Structure 1
Amino acid sequence: MKRSILFDTETTGLDPARGDRVIEIAALELVGDLPTGQHYHVLVHPERDIPEEASRVHGITLADLEGKPKFADIADGFLEFIGEDALIAHNARFDFGFLNAELKRVQRPPLSLERMVDTLDIARERYPGLPNSLDALCRRFSIDLSARTTHNALLDCRLLAEVYLELMGGRQRGLGLAVQDAGTAQVSYTYDHAAQRTPRPVMPTADELAAHARFLEKIKEPIWTG
């Protein structure tokens, strides 16, 4: 059964080419698009300052990272966890760019873009013209956002895992995932054919409807308004 890794990073800024660094990495193992319970999470000392505007986004200060490992110390463990499997992220080019910059510093091979699965691209294809941030998608799929007061890589991974499952078609009632124990990735599935999937209506907000209308105005003679 297909294994993939869903991951997220937090950073000191927006541009690795200007010296911004990774300060947090979180990753969840998925088998058959469902979390197995296996995860990887580490805080990383960036060997530089963290601008105040970045700390306001993710809530992490340099003081929080005192004594934490440097990327060189965790690179091999991270690469071992992700293996050669597909890598899923939201706005994945951002995360790939940062991780490949870090890997280059420690003389490790870059992550191939052929492994990249970008949930932002998937969402934009499914919902053109609508907001497709992680927050917007969670609201669209009625996923609880109450714990997301700041960007946190591990929490964002768990939210994105739910979003990704919905983007892939959603979990059917009666479909269960059983992890044999905490040290293995062996899974089994059971399906109750008598169970019926409860419809999960997606109700767009007024802002989303307005954005969709603006998108349709750009299309010559759209069939949706005929």
Structure 2
Amino acid sequence: MASVDSTGSNVFGRLRSGDLLHTGLVLALLLGVWSVGGLEVSTGKVSTLEAMNGSTVLLPCTYSSCIGIKNLYFNWQYNDNGTMYKLCEGMIATEGVEPRVQVEHERVEFVGTSKGNNISILLYNITFEDEGEYVCFARNPKEKNRNHSAIYYLKVVDQMKEIDNTLTTIIVSVVGGVIGLVILVMVIKALVVHFLLKDDEKNKECLVSSSGNDNTENGLTGAKADNKGTPKA
């Protein structure tokens, strides 16, 4: 009996271990899917913009979620040395529905659309005081209020830097000159070959005609000799 109980307890222990392992794998899979399908916010590949004082700039931002959205909340904030100032905020009820937006800055305009998952804004007549970090934030209640944010940095300048294209111009000129020289050499070579072939044809024609003339002259001489009468005895 003791041996049976021992075997039974060992089997039960292995079953419990297997259940725990199975549960762990399921949780890991769920966490993996959750991390892949979670809400993400992006300000594009280039997150820094240099713009002239007094101009209008676009601050881009898009959101994405593999499991969809419901009552997605978003806002734009300006980071002024650690103090956050809200520029606008809004909510998108569900996919395909245009957002309800409240703008809280006189020089800000919301230009996003739910069709492109776009929550971008325009900032008019920028000044040097507008330079700094702009934070695009979003929260999706459908993902247990999962949130994400992205930072866009604006640099304001008096005038745009002129790009020195001297080196590029030199490289293009050299490459163009080399290509032109190669084409000129090929044209000259083709002309030389063409004229040489013509000269060879002329020489062959001359040889043929001169050879024909020699044979004709020889034949006429022979004929004249044959036509002479045999002297009478």
**TM bucket normalised to smaller:** under 0.3
Bigger Rg, which one = 2
- The structure with more strand, counted as a fraction of residues: 2
- The structure with more helix, counted as a fraction of residues: 2
TM-score by length of 1: 0.23
